[in-house]
Amino acid sequence: MAVTIKDVAKRAQVAPSTVSRVIADHPKITQETKEKVRKIMQELGYHPNLLARKLVTQSSQTIGIIRKTSSKHSLSDPFFPAALQGMSDLLHQKEYSILMTSGESDEDIYREVVNMVQGKSVDGMIMLYSQDEDPVLKLLLEQKFPFVMIGKPTEHIDRVMYVDNDNVKAARDITDYLIRAGHQHIAYVGGDPRFEVHKDREQGYKQALKLANIQTSMLFRKEVSREAARETISEMLKMSPRPTAIVTTDELMAMSLLSALYEQQIRVPDEMSITTFMDSMLSELSSPPMTTVDIHAFQLGYEAAKTLVDLLENPNMMKRNILVPTSIVVRESCEKISENEAIG
């Protein structure tokens, strides 16, 4: 026979209405009572009707996740599953479901977000990117819809809660690491400059060169593809002097560059050092294992979800932004070079 609210109430020695309020996480029920009732629910194997809870709380109990365009790339990008795991861990604790966008274009994603907002299918949203002149950001601000961004906003920074790394510092640190290893000719392979993360990392790279009085920057902006990596390496090998090290902003691009270097019979790290951002298992298992900047993507996702849930529970909370520290993970893809090699 199925366990009912009345069974839980009888065991907990409270009214059935109190059990209902515990299920709805009502703020007027004490934490002690909530814990007591939830423990008994677990002991009896009582599982509240989620639809009923949604009707009581007038909440969808769902969070929307907005990916950037090209969902194929975002799904293969190691950042996405790591950040999603962080979000899922927190949202599962708070009994929220997740609804993700799946569009392949800006227009597709915008329409999906409009439908989520107007259809009230989600209580709040997490944006996994920050880009220039984003209509999605404009929509959410105009509708005063609760959301948190992973990444520093390019506009309306005083109105947006966000979680990010200090990407300028992170890129400056990894470039400085190569400079201290003796490298003077360091190439940077960045991504689409519409996205704030790529602009910040490029800025950090340039700052490190300037601080070291290195005049020449070797800057490439490329999409993530095998062919783009081949073209980039081909261009580098024609340069005089050619780079002795590469900083790349994208882990998938780093793997493509590693493959292109292998095709050109350029030995890593003997002839070319290479670093990247993220630090997933891809970097651990690459040959050679990749030196990376660990951006702690799980923590970025977790903190974004926590901030959004806090905002939903307290709409008048003070605006807060969180910076998750980065760290350099040294592996075998970088090598110190002599002064003669540095001069080229």
Q: Residue 188 sits in a domain of what CATH number? A: 3.40.50.2300
Strands 186-190 and 162-164: unpaired
| Domain extent for 191 | 167-294+328-343
Q: What is the pLDDT of residue 335?
A: 96
Overall size of the chain counted in residues: 344
Phi then psi dihedrals of residue 14, to 5 deg: -135, 170
Whether 339 and 265 map to the same domain: the answer is: yes
> Does 13 map to a domain?
no
Q: Which residues contact 11 (CB under 8 A, 6 or more apart)?
A: 40, 43, 44
Whether 192 and 335 map to the same domain: the answer is: yes
> Does 26 map to a domain?
no
Measure CA of the first residue to CA of the last residue in the chain; give whole Å: 80
Q: Give the whole-angstrom CA distance, residue 322 versus residue 165.
A: 8
Whether 104 and 242 map to the same domain: the answer is: no
> Does 46 map to a domain?
no
Whether 161 and 101 map to the same domain: the answer is: yes
Whether 282 and 185 map to the same domain: the answer is: yes
Helix (H), strand (E), coil (C) string for 278-296: ECCHHHHHCCCCCEEEECC
Whether 288 and 194 map to the same domain: the answer is: yes
Strands 124-127 and 186-190: unpaired
Whether 202 and 154 map to the same domain: the answer is: no
> Does 173 map to a domain?
yes
Q: Give the whole-angstrom CA distance, residue 232 versus residue 267.
A: 16
Whether 75 and 138 map to the same domain: the answer is: yes
**Strands, sheet with 186-190, edge to edge from the N-terminal-most edge strand:** 218-221, 186-190, 245-248, 273-278, 291-294, 327-329
Which amino acid does the sequence have at 147?
F
Report how many domains make up the chain.
2
Whether 218 and 77 map to the same domain: the answer is: no
> Does 85 map to a domain?
yes
Q: What is the pLDDT of residue 45?
A: 84
Q: Give the whole-angstrom CA distance, residue 205 versus residue 31.
A: 49
From residue 53, give the alpha-carbon distance in Å to each of 22, 23, 49, 328: 10, 7, 6, 45
Phi then psi dihedrals of residue 267, to 5 deg: -80, 130
Whether 273 and 185 map to the same domain: the answer is: yes
> Does 44 map to a domain?
no
Q: Which of 293, 272, 79 is nearest to 176 (CA)?
A: 293
Partners of 220 in beta bridges:
189
Whether 290 and 301 map to the same domain: the answer is: no
> Does 15 map to a domain?
no
Beta carbons of 115 and 90 less than 8 angstroms apart: no
> Does 9 map to a domain?
no
Beta carbons of 225 and 258 less than 8 angstroms apart: no
Beta carbons of 222 and 191 less than 8 angstroms apart: yes
Phi then psi dihedrals of residue 112, to 5 deg: -60, -45
Query: pLDDT in tens for each of the 344 residues of the chain?
Result: 678 888 889 999 999 888 888 877 777 889 899 899 989 988 888 877 655 555 555 678 899 999 986 555 666 889 999 999 999 999 998 889 999 998 888 899 999 999 999 988 999 999 999 998 999 999 999 999 999 999 999 999 999 999 999 999 999 999 999 999 999 999 999 998 889 999 999 999 999 999 999 987 799 998 888 999 999 999 999 999 999 999 999 999 999 999 999 999 999 999 999 999 999 999 999 999 999 999 999 999 999 999 999 999 999 999 999 999 999 999 999 999 976 565 55
Helix (H, G, I), strand (E, B) or coil at 245: strand
Whether 142 and 215 map to the same domain: the answer is: no
